[in-house]
Amino acid sequence: MPVQHRGRSEILAYAVVDMEPPPVIPLRKSDPRQAGPYRLEAVLGSGGMGRVYLGRDTTGGAGLAAVKVIRPEYAEDPLFRKRFERVVGALDRVKGAHIVRLLGSGCDEDLVWVATEYIPGPTLSDVVTERGPIDAAAAWRLLADVGPAIEAIWRAGLVHRDLKPSNVILGADGARVIDFGVVQAGDGTSLTATGQNVGTPAYMSPEQTRGLEVTAASDVFSLASTLTYAVAGQAPFGEGTGVDVLHRVAFESLREEVLDKVADVDAELAALIRTCLDKDPERRPLPETVFRTAIGHQLSAPTGGPSPAARKRPSPRAPFQGERSEALPAAAPSVPPAESPAPGATAAPAASRKRRRLTAGAATAAVLVAAGGTVTLLQQGDSRTPAAPRPETSPAVSGNPTPTPGISKSAPPSTPPTTDRAVGKPSSPADTRNPTTLDLRSAVCAAEIASGAHGDRVKALQLLLAGRGLHVTVDGQFGEATVTALKAFQAEAGIAVNGKAGAETKKLLYGMARGRCRSVR
């Protein structure tokens, strides 16, 4: 995959977390071997519209791609092919750091296919299933990533219509929205026939289940349902695929016991979710309001996390401002603490000891390293506070607060939202129990790394190379595969190709200014 220098969040630290690799699905005899310029190498998944393959560009272009090949029963329909061309044309207008890029499409004689960039990472559904629900900081970061994606889709005149945990992929630079198979254009054009009920019942909006007009408000509803699942481990109206789920979504109230689980983690987040799950689409906040609230929350949250006492559930009288905010400063300090963790960061409450929650780094900077059959989930280290990042400002927040590590750098629209809700400030304390934390800055920046090196410095280098889609095994050994991957990165970056991680290479690889590196501890 080409090296991308824009729209990336600064990667600070990760910790390796055990996670079972997804099953490798080899090609069947009936599977195609080629789609346009892409050689199909394996099956990534399948759905009602078609199968998704891992494709490699044979023309030396985009590298790896996720190639969806439409099922023959659809592809052979002339009307479907016309709708396909119109929808793909609309998708080409969608631009954003948290949306997979459209690479190409084709209506060949035998195949109808569409290719998007391949993001090496697990889906949100995979992470919650295997590692459990995410914590509050991860949830706000997830919202800050996916919210702009929904807003970008809306500005392009589209509605995704199938936003759900399995359609949110977690890459090295944050969450991405994938799979636009049932997207609908502003003129009503979609890949599905008129009157056909599309989407996943547990994450559909009420208007969608009833066959009414869908707008960006429908995607906001689906986003809130997805976020509920991520934090509570359950969809707000229950799981299932039958008519009963559709009826609950369309006509019944959300399950309060499920939202209570979200409120136990972060009541401000639960209150925001409740407004997004309003049956009336006109009463739901705009996508812009949703993600600006999330970004504002991140910018105003203290970097060390609140104390356990500050995690108390706020009073229902103040849905966006509660008891635990009283135990915290009103805004983040201008410079984060040096290396000592916050008092609340070392003692996780009893609830978190019973059920592990992924930290913000794991939920939004996860990397699925697929090299030689090895799959690794990377989690942001919490046991120490990184060096102060560059200050940033947001139109939604006054002053110059310092952002939390890993905050999305994609610029929100210029027009600020109008809302009377107070932005929540606290975030849950970090989980510091993982002893295998790797600080990428301190592990790699001290000196040049070259062939023959080994240990944490090499492993950290391999993590970032793999996060950029390069084939390298994360084993801490600077061997031939690492040299090859590093040379590929250098060639794409347009710098001297020598297979060594020197100052110039690290400046681009880590997105840090010269002199930002710290010594190895």
pLDDT tens digits, 224-251: 999 999 999 999 998 776 788 989 999 9
Residue of 485 and 507 predicted with greater confidence: 485
**Strand order through the sheet with 377-379:** 377-379, 13-17, 437-439
Tokens 């409450």 label which residue?
349
Residue 456 has pLDDT above 60, yes or no: yes
Please say whether the beta carbons of 64 and 56 come within 8 A: yes
pLDDT of res. 68? 93
pLDDT of res. 210? 87
Label residue 35 by pLDDT band (50, 70, 90): very high
pLDDT of res. 220? 97
| Token pair of 242 as six digits | 């039958």
Q: CATH for 436-509?
A: 1.10.101.10
The set of residues, in sequence order, having a beta carbon less than 8 Å from that of 175 and lying 6+ positions away, is 98, 124, 142, 145, 146, 149, 168, 169, 363, 364
Region of 84 (left: φ > 0; alpha: ψ -120 to 50; beta: rest) is alpha
Q: What is the 3-state secondary structure (H, E, C) of 203-223?
A: HCCHHHHCCCCCCHHHHHHHH
Closest residue by Cα to residue 289 from 308, 272, 267: 272
Q: How many residues does the chain have?
A: 521
pLDDT of res. 114? 93
Region of 495 (left: φ > 0; alpha: ψ -120 to 50; beta: rest) is beta
Task: Decide if 162 is catalytic.
Answer: yes
Residue 68 is labelled as binding a ligand: yes
Compute the distance between CA of residue 62 and CA of residue 22 in angstroms, rounded to an integer. Answer: 24
pLDDT digits (tens, 9 = 90+) for 158-205: 888 889 999 999 887 789 998 875 555 444 444 444 344 557 899 999
Q: CATH for 34-117?
A: 3.30.200.20
Please report, for the chain, the start and end positions of each structural domain, with discontinuous segments joined by +. 34-117, 122-187+198-306+328-334+342-359+400-429, 436-509
Residue of 265 and 409 predicted with greater confidence: 265
Helices (H), 376-419: none
Catalytic residue among 162, 219, 266, 382: 162
pLDDT digits (tens, 9 = 90+) for 84-142: 888 888 888 888 888 988 999 999 888 999 999 988 888 899 889 988 999 999 999 99
Q: Which of 263-277, 315-329, 453-467 has the lowest mean pLDDT?
A: 315-329
Compute the distance between CA of residue 204 and CA of residue 223 in angstroms, rounded to an integer. Answer: 10
User: Which one is the CATH code of 122-187+198-306+328-334+342-359+400-429: 3.40.190.10, 1.10.510.10, 3.40.50.300, 3.40.309.10?
Assistant: 1.10.510.10
CA distances from 33 to 41, 60, 112, 257 (A): 7, 17, 13, 48
